[in-house]
């Protein structure tokens, strides 16, 4: 199967030129001007952008959490991702209490197998080093292509780990070349604030934010950074939501430490006042960390621009408003934490980031594709447009106007965080390894076409043949 994409504006993190892209047997084999080639499929991309398939390094599909299971499984979640121009995601494989790490990985492979329509990697979320996972097993996990360990410093009594566990895992990572990821919030302080609020009769959704103030995120971010520095492991701070967490990341990066941070689409657009919406609508915005006062958004855009933050992910963790979020109708602490967004990221960032002058097109590609590929051991097989790379490509129409809405999105979620928001610019054709996934607003592939990707270790590259080589 060969594909020729003609005359598009090819945009990578570094380049921007009009040309043709030719792919054969799932890989890009040639890029040039007016290529004189035949192909099984020819796509006219005149007036369109051709960008690398986006990579979402933070998703939760088919995950038990908060007393229920996320609304999207690997089929609905990845179809939704494909419509949004995302062709690879890295999902959190959550270790159950007492569960050995390799059993947890097996469980996640069963969830994905035959369902995913985009390529998939896993992070291992370590929740229990006592009963289930051993340090020896943990050290062997990267051999399976799972090259990042995730730890939750919050959600006390559920998946939170203590500092000793965090520090031990960091030491293992320093030895194995895995990347440590943290959900950084002060879980003990939050637990006490939640109990106090409930004891005072405060049960509405906005108390979710009032009991998780920015300082609790700032403190944990600082703590994780200092511990990773001592242990000698690289650290990636997920879903940074506020200035209090940006500042310690900026400080560490200024010093040249191996510290990285992401924010998520929602923190750039949704603020604290959304949680105050009446009639339990605020519950739609109960995700963690919570939406912050609006002034934090300008700090997030600034940090994305000046490279303090390196990635925008979605943290897609969808729960139905009717039937799942309502578990917390009378107690905000029982509202399952998480929101949808796997499909919206590229369109929202293109419109409000690029069109409104906050980011360049190259920087958008870097934040949504190239940096996630580099940090999570997928580059240069993914995250760029180059000979030898997978033909994961998005033909993006910068003029197409769409309205983000639950009635239009492909997630099973019954609400959209950006309901009614009009954007200009949307994917027109989405290809995974040269296979068309989405065209003419239709999904045209089959469930299961997505493959598991064994990722390289931190600082190593994933060669097109899947072979790990030392970074140049
Ligand atoms: O509220 C969220 N973010 N739910 C998913 C789990 C996490 O903390 O990332
Ligand atoms: Zn988290
Ligand atoms: Zn998450």
For 411-449, write each residue's pLDDT tens digit.
999 999 999 999 999 999 999 999 999 999 999 999 999
Q: Please say if the pLDDT value at position 472 is more than 50.
A: no
Cβ pair 84, 347 in contact under 8 A: yes
Mutation probe of ligand 1 site: the residue of 62, 337, 339 with most atoms within 8 A of C-beta: 337
| Nearest ligand atom owner, CA of 184 | 2
With a CB cutoff of 8 Å and minimum separation 6, the contacts of 393 are: 5, 21, 23, 50, 51, 52, 53, 385, 429, 430, 431
- Quote the percentage of the chain above a pLDDT of 90: 97
Q: Please say if the pLDDT value at position 471 is more than 50.
A: no
**Average pLDDT rounded to a whole number, residues 176-201:** 98
Binning pLDDT at 50, 70 and 90, where does residue 465 land?
low
What the block records as the tokens of 192 is 């006490």
Residues with CB under 6 A from ligand 1: 60, 183, 287-288, 315, 317, 337-338
- Quote the percentage of the chain above a pLDDT of 70: 98
Long-range CB contacts (within 8 A, 24+) of 250-257: 250/303, 250/308, 252/225, 253/307, 253/308, 257/225, 257/228, 257/229
Q: What does the pLDDT read at residue 163?
A: 98
The number of the ligand 1 atom at minimal distance from the alpha carbon of 152 is: 8
> Which protein residues have a CB closer than 5 Å to ligand 2 (ion)?
183
Buried b / exposed e over 298-312, threshold 16 CB at 10 Å, is ebbbebbeeebbbbb
Cα 60 to ligand 2 centre (Å): 10
Over the stretch 11-48, which tens digit does the pLDDT of each residue have?
999 999 999 999 999 999 999 999 999 999 999 999 99
Whether cis (ω within 30° of 0) applies to the bond prior to 380 is yes
Cβ pair 399, 424 in contact under 8 A: yes
Over the stretch 139-178, which tens digit does the pLDDT of each residue have?
999 999 999 999 999 999 999 999 999 999 999 999 999 9
Closest-CA residue, ligand 1 atom 4, reads 338
With a CB cutoff of 8 Å and minimum separation 6, the contacts of 356 are: none
Cα 150 to ligand 2 centre (Å): 9
Q: Please say if the pLDDT value at position 245 is more than 50.
A: yes
DSSP string, 341-354: -TTTHHHHIIIIII
* 54-375 maps to CATH 1.10.10.10: no
Q: Please say if the pLDDT value at position 128 is more than 50.
A: yes
Q: What does the pLDDT read at residue 316?
A: 99
Binning pLDDT at 50, 70 and 90, where does residue 209 land?
very high
**Average pLDDT rounded to a whole number, residues 59-87:** 98
Q: Please say if the pLDDT value at position 470 is more than 80.
A: no
Task: Report the C-alpha gap between 340 and 317 in whole angstroms.
Answer: 6
Torsion sign over Cα 186, 191, 193, 197? positive
Task: Report the C-alpha gap between 3 and 258 in whole angstroms.
Answer: 39
Task: Report the C-alpha gap between 348 and 444 in whole angstroms.
Answer: 24
Over the stretch 371-395, which tens digit does the pLDDT of each residue have?
999 999 999 999 999 999 999 999 9
Please provide the average confidence, as pLDDT, over all residues in the chain. 97
Secondary structure (3-state) at 444: coil
């Amino acid at each position: 199967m060969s594909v020729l994409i003609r005359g598009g504006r090819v945009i990578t993190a570094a380049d921007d030129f009009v040309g043709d892209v030719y792919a054969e047997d799932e890989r890009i084999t040639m890029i040039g001007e007016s290529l004189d080639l035949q192909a099984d499929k020819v796509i006219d991309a005149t007036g369109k952008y051709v960008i690398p398939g986006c990579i979402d390094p933070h998703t939760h599909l088919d995950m038990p959490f908060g007393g229920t299971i996320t609304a999207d499984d690997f089929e609905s979640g990845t179809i939704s991702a494909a419509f949004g121009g995302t062709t690879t995601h890295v999902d959190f494989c959550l270790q159950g209490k007492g569960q050995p790490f390799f059993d947890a990985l097996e469980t996640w492979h069963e969830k994905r197998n035959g369902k995913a329509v985009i390529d998939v990697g896993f992070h291992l979320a370590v929740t229990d080093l006592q009963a289930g996972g051993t340090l020896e097993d943990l050290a062997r996990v990267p051999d399976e292509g799972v090259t990042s360990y995730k730890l939750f410093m919050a959600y006390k009594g559920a998946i939170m780990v203590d500092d000793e566990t965090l520090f031990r895992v960091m030491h293992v990572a320093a030895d194995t070349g895995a990347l440590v990821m943290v959900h950084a919030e002060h879980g003990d302080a939050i637990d006490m604030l939640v109990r106090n609020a409930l004891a005072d009769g405060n049960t509405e959704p906005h108390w979710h934010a009032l009991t998780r103030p920015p300082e609790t995120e700032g403190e944990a971010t600082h703590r994780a950074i200092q511990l990773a520095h001592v242990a000698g492991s690289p650290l990636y701070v997920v879903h940074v939501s506020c200035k209090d967490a940006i500042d310690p990341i900026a400080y560490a990066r200024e010093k040249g430490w191996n510290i990285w941070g992401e924010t998520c689409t929602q923190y750039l657009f949704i603020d604290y006042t959304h949680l105050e919406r009446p009639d339990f609508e605020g519950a739609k915005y109960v995700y963690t960390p919570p939406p912050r006062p609006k002034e934090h958004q300008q700090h997030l855009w600034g940090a994305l621009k000046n490279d303090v933050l390196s990635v925008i992910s979605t943290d897609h963790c969808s729960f139905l408003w009717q039937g799942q979020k309502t578990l917390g109708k009378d107690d905000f602490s029982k509202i399952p934490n998480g929101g949808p967004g796997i499909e919206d990221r590229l369109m929202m960032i293109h419109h409000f980031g690029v069109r409104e002058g906050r980011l360049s097109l190259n920087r958008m590609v870097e934040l949504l594709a190239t940096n996630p590929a580099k940090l999570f051991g997928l580059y240069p097989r993914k995250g760029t447009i180059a000979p030898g790379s997978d033909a994961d490509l998005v033909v993006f129409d910068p003029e197409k106007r769409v309205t983000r809405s639950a009635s239009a999105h492909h997630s099973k979620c019954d609400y959209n965080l950006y309901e009614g928001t009009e954007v200009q610019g949307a994917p027109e054709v989405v290809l995974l390894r040269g296979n068309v996934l989405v065209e003419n607003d239709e999904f045209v592939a089959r469930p299961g076409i997505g493959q598991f990707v064994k990722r390289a270790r931190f600082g190593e590259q994933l060669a097109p043949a899947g072979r790990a080589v030392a970074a140049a």
